[in-house]
Chains A and B, each alone.
Chain A
């Protein structure tokens, strides 16, 4: 079968979502779907169309032990939470970079004092980077931003969901220390962790930047100045001695 024909792809996607494909056809379709983004998109569109039908089915209370079974299956029981240390570390979000740098310096000095030099070298391994922790308007930690000092990639980790309204994108800005207009750096990836490429090296872009901010802007080319209020903003620090 020629799966490149749009009408065939759409028909197969609709029947897959409805559930009428039999065993082999269903398995074959699932394999194809994993390799084909257009087929996957057709499935998602049909799921949006048909799944509201399921809303009229009567609810049924699960057995009390079912969630315990799920947690056991996922290895949650008896193990620390996936992001436990991270949540703990980030509670006092505002000013965290400063605190982190302070702790880094203090720890290194303490280690210098009590541990002989050869081991100290193994402790201070973090490469020179620009680091930012951005908070939402309520002061809650929102994003971690980091980039190697001479690299051209920015790594992002969401600490809370970053969801631009429909038709908009989340744009990262550098705010120069001298108070001049913010500079658009790039569009954030949609995934909880991800990265994007910079138009120049970090050193060029961030050396004179004191803060980083994110605004939600209309999709399309990067704007020359923010048109919306800050969704996230925070200090940008140089993570080297």
Chain B
């Protein structure tokens, strides 16, 4: 019987290279999808995945100590590496930019059709999370999903959604607080 990702990662924590190969085979496709969604460029997404697997090997012992779900732990590593890459080189031009002569130019607001994000949420296998996000008002929910799936900062969300920065921060803060309350209620 094939070993689960949790079992493989536990063996990786003991320095087992064969388990590391099996772990990569079992998870790299999903994890590269996560990096690609954030970065939007396959070569850079693969660089982020490479850095992630180096970190997974080096930090697997630490994972063993806190016993998170292996896929949760690895996905968080990949998202962090991808966000670092994204912050170093954003995938799209900002809404306005200033050139060397001090002239400000503007770009069109990026397409933020809620359809694809909503369908990603609907495909989420975690029913509680889907339910709780579904109960957040549409605009804060949209901001949370864009932040999660597209890796946008508050400022970038404000530009994409053509909404004041203060409002965006309040949406994100309130959205996360409501999500936490709902998820904790479901746990109780």
Task: Show the binding face of A for B, using Cβ within 8 Å.
Answer: 10-11, 14-15, 17-23, 26, 44, 47-63, 66-67, 69-70, 73-74, 76, 81-83, 158-161, 163, 190-193
**Chain B contacts of A22 at CB under 8 A?**
87, 153-155
Contact call A74/B46, Cβ cutoff below 8 A: no
Q: When the two chains form their complex, are residues A163 and B67 in contact, meaning their CB atoms are under 8 A apart?
A: yes
Additional A-B contacts beyond A52-B125, A70-B50 (5; CB < 8 A) = A10-B180, A15-B172, A18-B147, A19-B147, A67-B24
- Determine if A51 and B76 form an interchain contact, defined as CB atoms under 8 angstroms apart: yes
Minimum-distance CB pairs A-B, first 8: A161-B10, A52-B126, A56-B123, A82-B15, A59-B29, A47-B76, A51-B72, A14-B176
18 CB < 8 A contacts A-B: A11-B176, A11-B177, A15-B172, A18-B148, A19-B151, A20-B172, A47-B68, A51-B76, A60-B42, A60-B45, A61-B29, A67-B21, A70-B50, A70-B53, A76-B17, A82-B16, A83-B15, A192-B13
Q: Specify which of A52, A73, A82 is in contact with B54 (CB 8 Å cutoff).
A: A73
B35-63, CB under 8 A of A: which get 1 and which 0?
01100001001100110011001000100
By a CB distance below 8 angstroms, the chain A residues around B34 are 54, 57
B94 beta carbon closer than 8 Å to chain A: no
Our pick among A17, A57, A63, A74 for the contact of B120 (Cβ within 8 Å) is A57
- The residues of B that contact A15 with a CB separation of less than 8 Å are 172-173, 176
**B97 vs chain A, min Cβ distance (A):** 17
Which residues of the other chain, A, contact B72 by a CB distance below 8 angstroms?
Answer: 47-48, 51-52
Return the contact of B149 from the options A10, A48, A53 (Cβ within 8 A).
A53
User: In the complex, A37 Cα to B126 Cα: how many Å?
Assistant: 27
Bound-state Cα–Cα, A73 to B7, Å:
24
Q: When chains A and B are docked, how far (Å) is the Cα of A58 from the Cα of B119?
A: 12
The contact of B83 among A14, A19, A44, A57, by CB within 8 Å, is A19
Q: Chain B contacts of A26 at CB under 8 A? A: 83, 87
The answer, among B10, B24, B176, for a CB contact under 8 Å with A163, is B10
B65 within 8 A of A: yes
Contacts of A60 in B (CB 8 A): 29, 32-33, 36, 42, 45
Q: Indicate whether B139 reaches chain A with its CB closer than 8 angstroms.
A: no
Q: Is the pair A66, B148 in contact by a Cβ cutoff of 8 Å?
A: no
A62 to B48: give the CA distance in the assembly, Å. 12
Q: Could you say which residues of chain A place their CB within 8 Å of the CB of B37? A: 57-58
Residue B161 at the chain A interface, CB threshold 8 Å: no
The residue that A66 contacts in the complex, of B21, B50, B149, with Cβ under 8 A, is: B50
- Residues on the A chain within 8 Å of B21, using CB: 67
Contact A56-B42, Cβ < 8 Å, known A161-B11, A192-B61: no
Which residue on chain A has the smallest CB distance to residue B155?
A22
A48:B172 contact, CB within 8 angstroms = no
Residues of A within 8 A of B32 (CB): 59-62
Least distance between A37 CB and chain B CB atoms (Å): 10
Which one of B87, B121, B179 lies within 8 Å of A56 (CB-CB)?
Answer: B121
**A58 to B37 Cα, complex, angstroms:** 8
- Which residues on the A side are within 8 Å of B17 (C-beta)? 76, 81-82
Chain A residues whose CB sits within 8 angstroms of the CB of B148 once the complex forms: 18-19, 50, 53-54
A54-B46 in contact given A47-B68, A67-B28, A161-B13 (Cβ < 8 Å): no
